[in-house]
Every structure is written in structure tokens, then in C-alpha cells.
Amino acid sequence: MFSRKWVAAAAAGALLLAGQALAADKKVVAVSIPAADHGWTAGIVYHAQAAAKEINAAFPDVEVVVKTSPSAADQVSALEDLSASRKLDALVILPYTSEELTQPVKAIKDMGTFITVVDRGLTDASIQDLYLAGDNIAVGTNTAKFMIDKLGGKGDLVVLRGIPTVIDDERIKGFEDTIKGTGLKVLDIQYAHWNSDEAFKLMQDYLAKYPHIDAVWANDDDMLLGVLEAVKQSGRTDIKLALGGNGMKDIVKKVIDGDAMTPVETPYPPSMIKTAIYMTVANLIGQAPVRGTVKLDAPLITQANAKEYYFPDSPF
Amino acid sequence: MTALTSSTPARTERQYHVSWADAGPFLALVALLVIGFLVNPDFLSATNLGNVVTRSAYVAIIAVGATFVISSGGLDLSVGSMVAFIAGITIMFMNMMAPSLGLWAIPAGMAMAVAAGLLCGLANGLIVTVGRIEPFIATLGTMGIFRALITYMTNGGTIPIDRSLREAYRPVYFGTLAGIPVPILISAVVASIGAFVLYKTKYGRKCAAVGANEDVARYSGISVIKTRTIAFVIQGVCVAVAAICYVPRLGAATPTTGVLWELQVITAVVIGGTALRGGKGHIWGTVAGAVILELIANLMVLSDFVSEYLVAAVQGVIIIIAMLVQRFSK
């Protein structure tokens, strides 16, 4: 009995070792991202996994490993786990917070790993080999430009902002700076925490408070869903535009369908994680130089180009 | 103890004796309405008040259940996550049934919601009573479980309701009956049943007795385990009713549905005059508390005094003042 068990154990061990040896020939790309806790991060997870699947199928000697973490502390542990068992050739990370993740990422960098940082920067920019992000200021700017154009340079607006963070501040700043000096006037601006229910309530209150509103800007699509429901309920016809931002599939679908109230959308697309993973692998495999900073623009999504930003299978 | 002494002389109740503790939340409500009108006359418009009372319905319905749990000496932190979880299950079930049942999928889904609420409440109740775990910790645990389940079911995104059901289901939130929005009617019915059970039945007395003093209740031959478990089941069913009203509003459940509602619910119960340590519950006070909370939020937007950065602070101050006024007016 005992001897048989030992043989089995030895066989299993040998298999494991063989597996290790095989895996060692592969170039390992670890992807560390936040767990899906709302629409946008759900999109990040979806696109990261899609990229991993595509690349693993296309390049047999590359292995992309995706690891999601529900908090900054968990992400630090995840980095330790990922790097403890094997050498990472590259790390693609969307850090939860800049401060807490900077040192752990530096530790991995010191082992000779190529570091790609996505969306949120680390406090020490010298750690990253590649930095890729969207442009939150452009989200505000491009939305504002469209509104100015569409409303003929004047009108009364209400704005719903998200959670007090840099992302929210930048979007609002881009918007406010652009409409400065035009006839567009922001009647009111309040936080709705990127939450549909809160946005629904806030929009009801805006509608009760202001007898005339020309346009609404919710700086995120989750909020826009609540806004549209409140406008629909009120039966008001003075609202000409209700715009969002981020590139949620439901809203992009509206753009494709030529919706009158929401004819355009500005992306801050979660698919940027896919761009980052592909670029990192290009550097690893194709010897294509990618070091530097890439800033994805937030071009207006219109009926003409909406297909490019439409992912019907994504949860976001 | 106060609950027992105040509920023994049945004669005083028949004389419609009104104490300050009962009237407090309603006075606060009237005061808020007056202040609101002075700040912005639009505040008292039928549309605005209709909107505010309608959207306070969820918290009011859940808080009726919470009044049972709290007056029996328990606490349920899981209600916000439970709403999201039940809303998710309900939508998935309706979508699954839509091809075969057509519009009958809606009542079927509602029945499913109530069944789910009953089971969730029973689970909470049994963990607390039979498992002998502090309600705070037990429901903190289930709060995490329900939240994780809805996140898992949605992959972090949303579960939208089938398009074929959307329009037919919409009136449950947006419709009116004799000019009164449906959610208001539903919460009035739930509160009436709650008030009847809590004030007029044996079970209601047991609830207050267990909450006021567990040992005395046990020596009087009341089953503490049964009484508390039933309170959690009532809570679960109330959450299910709230979920039924919630789904048609945005037509979707997401991982951020019902976040922090548990705190609003507990606040509504306490503003309504029910002591957090247990004892006699005040159903109508609870409903007033829920409306007060929603009115305060509405008032913040309609007034121009408060910077968007300070809204939460002002809300906190108003709630504390409301409680202090009640305390000192006794």
C-alpha cells in the first residue's frame, strides 16, 4: 500500500517538474487588475481575459496570466504570489491606488521584469517601462465641445459628477474650462457617486428645481441610465441632450441606433487594458519598441465609428 | 422595560393617547416641509413631493421589517445587499420564464422574489438564534455573501430585464392608482399589515417583550428563538417586496444596487422612535423616518445654500438635530 502511494506521489512530482520545465520556456506576462465590482472594472476584467485568451492561442511561447484583486492590500499580496513562484517577463498592472502599489511594483521591476502601468500612475514614474492611459480631461472637453456646437453656443445645463477623485475632477475641469466664456451655463452640479439610483433621484430633483433645462451631462454612463429614466418619467420635452461618458455598451448602442437625446458618447474605454497587454507582448515577442507613454484620446463616438467601440458580449 | 410598562395598560391605547415619542417624527416631518417651502416653493409641488415619497418607498418598506428585527433586539445589516441579490434573482428568473410564460413571467418572478426573501431572512434568523451569533456579526457576514453573489451573477456588470417585460412591468414603479403612485400604495399596505401585526397580535407583544428583556420574556414562557427568527423572516419578505418595486425603476440589478441602504433603513427606524437596543417598535414613525431622510436629501439639491462638497455633513447635522429635538421634547 505504502509503496504504491509513494510511486504515485513520485510520478505526480515528476509530472509537476516536467510541467515546470515546459512552462519555463514560455515567456510569462502577469496581468494584475482590480476585481469586477462595478461596470467599468467588469469591462477591464472582460477585456483582460479576452486578450489573454487571444494571445495564449496565437503565441504558444507566451503565457498571459490574469489575476484580479478586490482591494489594494489584496493586489499587493497577488503581486507577491505571482512573482514568488516564477520569474515574470512582464507585468501589466492597473493599480488600485498609486501610493500603496508603488513599492511592491518596484520590487518586481528590480527582478528584471518589464513593467506596464495602465490608467492610474504610480508615484514614481521611473518604475514603469510603458504607461498607458485614457484622457479624462478630454472626456470633459470633447463632450463640452459637442454641446456648445449642438446647442448653438448657449443653453442651461445640469451636471452630475461621480465620486470625489482625480478622475472626476479632471473630467469636470475639462468640461468647465471648455464652456467658459460661451453662453452655456451650468445651473447645478452635484455628486451622484457614479450610481444609477442616486443619479435617478438627483435628476428628478433637478427637474423639480429648474423649469427649463437644455442639456444634461452625467460624467459616467451608469449615471446616465438613471438620468434617462427620470427624464422619461417627467415627460419633459425641453431637454435636448443627455450625454454620458466611458463607453458602456448600452449607451454605445443608443449612438448606433441614432438616439436623438444621446447622439454621441465619449470613451474612457476599459478595453485600454487590452491595448496595454498587446503592446507589452509586442515588445516581448516581436521586438517592437514600446517604451514610453501612450495617451488614448477620447474621440467622440458617433454613429459613424460607434461599431469600433461596441462590445456586445462585455458586461459593460 | 419601558416597552412592557407602556404596553400593559390597554385602556390608554383606546383613549388614543398620543405621546411625544409617537408624535416626534411627524412633527419633524411637518417642520421639514415648512422649512422646505421657505427655501424653495417648488418643494411643495405635487410632482416633487410625489417623487420624493415614491422613492422613499424602498427604504420605508424595508424599514417596516427592520422595525420588527430591531424591536425584538436584533439588527440586520444585510438588507442592502439582499435587495440587490433578490433583484438579481428575480430578473434572471423572469428572463428565463419570459419565452414560455410571456407576461405571466412577471407575477412568477414576484413569487420567486418573495420565496427568496423568505429563505434569506430565515437564514439570517437561524444563524442569529440557533447559531447564537451576534446579529451584527451574523448579518455582516451575510451582507458580504449577498453582495458577492450579485457581483458574481452580473460579472460585475448589470443584469437587465428582458425587453418584452420592461414596458409591462414599468407601472409597478411609475404607475398610479387613483392618482397615487403605486410604490406609495404598496408601502402603505406593507406598513398597515406591519402595524397590525406589531400592535394588535400576540406575536407583536412577544417581539417587544423579547427586545425589552430577553430573560424576563423567557421566564414568561415566550420562545425567544422563534420570536427573533420570525422577525428576520418578516424582514426578508419586506426586502423582497422592496426588490419587486425596485426592479422596474431602472430595469436592472447591478453590484452597486442597494449599497448602504442598511444604514438608511436603521436611521429611518431610529428617527421613527424605535430604540436601537430593542423594545417597543413604531411602524408609522419608521415610515415617517424614511420619508424624512429622502426629504432631507431632496432639500439639499433644491436649496442653493449648501456646497456640493458639504451635502453629507449637513444631512448628518439635520438628523442629529432631529434626534435631539425628540429626546428633549419628552
Which chain B positions have a beta carbon within 8 Å of A250's beta carbon? 160
For residue A188, list chain B residues with Cβ-Cβ distance below 8 A. Answer: 301
Tally of structural domains, chain B: 1
What confidence score (pLDDT) does residue B164 get?
87
Separation of alpha carbons A151 and B100, rounded Å: 47
CB crowding B102-126: b at 16 or more within 10 Å, else e? eeebbebbbebbbbbbbebbebbbb
Does the residue B252 lie in any domain? yes
Per-residue model confidence (pLDDT) at position B163:
85
What's the whole-number mean pLDDT along residues A283-291?
88
Please indicate whether, in this complex, the C-beta atoms of A42 and B155 are within 8 angstroms of each other. yes
B194 lies in some domain:
yes
Whether A140 has its CB under 8 Å from any CB of chain B: the answer is no
pLDDT on residue A5: 59
B1 occurs within a structural domain: no
Q: Locate cell 417598535: which residue?
A: B281
H/E segment holding residue B271: helix B261-271
Outline where DSSP puts E strands in chain A. 27-34, 62-69, 90-93, 114-118, 130-133, 154-161, 183-191, 215-218, 241-243, 292-295
What CATH number is given for A25-134+270-285 in this structure?
3.40.50.2300
Of A22-26, A80-84, A112-116, the range with the lowest mean pLDDT is: A22-26
A226 in contact with chain B, both atoms CB, cutoff 8 A: yes
Smallest Cβ distance to B302: which of A161, A205, A225? A205
- Whether A187 and chain B come into contact, CB under 8 Å, resolves to no
Q: What is the pLDDT of residue B138?
A: 96
The answer to whether A107 contacts chain B (CB < 8 Å) is: no
Residues of A in contact with B158 (CB under 8 A): 39, 315
Option in A37, A164, A204 nearest B156 (CB): A37
- In tens, the pLDDT along B179-201 reads 899 999 999 999 999 999 999 99
Q: Per-residue pLDDT tens for A181-195?
A: 999 999 999 999 888
Single-letter amino acid, residue A240: K
Give how far A258 is from chain B: nearest CA, Å: 19
pLDDT at residue A119 tops 60:
yes
Which pTM was predicted? 0.81
Residue with cell 528584471: A112
Chain A residue numbers touching B156 (CB-CB < 8 A): 35-39, 41-42, 45, 315-316
Q: Can you list the residues of chain B whose pLDDT is less than 50?
A: 1-15
Quote the mean pLDDT of chain A. Answer: 88
Confidence label for A8 from pLDDT (cuts 50, 70 and 90): low
Note whether B156 contacts A315, CB cutoff 8 Å. yes
Q: Which of A189, A200, A204 is the closest to B250 by Cβ?
A: A200
Is residue B158 one of the residues assigned to a domain? yes
Residues of A in contact with B259 (CB under 8 A): 195
Interface residue ranges in chain B relative to chain A, Cβ cutoff 8 Å: 40, 42-43, 45, 47-48, 51, 55, 151, 154-158, 160, 174, 249-252, 254-257, 259, 297-298, 301-302, 308-309, 311
CB atoms within 10 A of CB A2: 6
Looking at residue B200, its pLDDT comes to: 94
Write the CB contacts of A53 (distance below 8 Å, at least 6 apart in sequence). none
What is the extent of the structural domain holding B152? 20-329
Say whether A37 and B155 touch across the interface (CB within 8 A). no
**What's the pLDDT at A7?**
59
pLDDT at B1: 41
Gap between the Cα atoms of A247 and A241, Å rounded: 17
Higher pLDDT pick, A19 / A265: A265
* Residue scoring higher pLDDT (B278 or A144): A144
Whole-number percent of chain B with pLDDT over 70: 93
* B70/B73 Cα distance (integer angstroms): 5
A203/chain B closest Cα distance in angstroms: 10
Protein fold of A136-256: Rossmann fold (3.40.50)
Query: Does this chain's domain A25-134+270-285 share its CATH topology with A136-256?
Result: yes
- Quote the minimal CA–CA distance from A208 to chain B in Å: 6
Q: Does A74 touch chain B (CB under 8 A)?
A: no
Whether residue A311 lies within 8 A of chain B, CB to CB, comes out as no
pLDDT at position A288: 87
Classify strands A114-118 and A292-295 as parallel, antiparallel or unpaired: unpaired
Is the pLDDT at A104 greater than 50? The verdict is yes
CB contact under 8 A, B256 and A222: yes
Report the pLDDT value the prediction gives residue A175, as an integer from 0 to 100.
95
Mutate: best of B301, B302, B305, partner A, most A CBs <10 A: B301
Rounded distance between C-alpha atoms, residue B185 and residue B164, angstroms: 26
- CB A20: neighbour CB atoms within 10 A? 11
Using a CB-CB cut-off of 8 Å, the residues of chain B touching A194 are 256
Write the residue in A38, A196, A204 that is nearest to B51 by C-beta: A204
Q: Is A191 on the interface with B (CB under 8 A)?
A: yes
Alpha carbon distance A180, A202 (integer Å): 24
The answer to whether residue B110 sits within a structural domain is yes
The count of other CB atoms within 10 Å of the CB of residue A6 is 10
Question: How high is the pLDDT of residue A180?
Answer: 92
Identify the CATH number of the domain in which residue B197 sits: 1.10.3470
Q: Could you tell me the residue ranges of all domains in chain A?
A: 25-134+270-285, 136-256
Q: In this predicted structure, what is the pLDDT of residue B308? A: 78
Quote the pLDDT of residue B27.
Answer: 85
Q: Looking at per-residue confidence, does B306 or A52 come out higher?
A: A52
Q: Would you say residue A269 has pLDDT above 90?
A: no
- The CA distance from A297 to the nearest CA of chain B, in Å, is 24
Q: Is A154 exposed, middle or buried (0-12, 13-18, 19+ CB in 10 A)?
A: exposed
pLDDT tens for each residue of B118-138: 999 999 999 999 999 999 999
CB-closest option in A189, A208, A315 to B51: A208
Provide the pLDDT for residue B329: 62
Q: Tell whether A197 lies on the interface with B, counting CB pairs under 8 A.
A: yes
What is the Cα–Cα distance from A37 to A35, expressed in whole angstroms? 6
pLDDT for residue A19 is more than 50 = no
Contacts with A221 from chain B: Cβ below 8 Å: none
Mean pLDDT of A153-159: 94
**Cα-atom radius of gyration of chain B, to the nearest Å?**
20
Give, for B160, the enclosing helix (H) or strand (E). Answer: strand B159-160
Of B55, B252, B302, the CB nearest to A208: B302
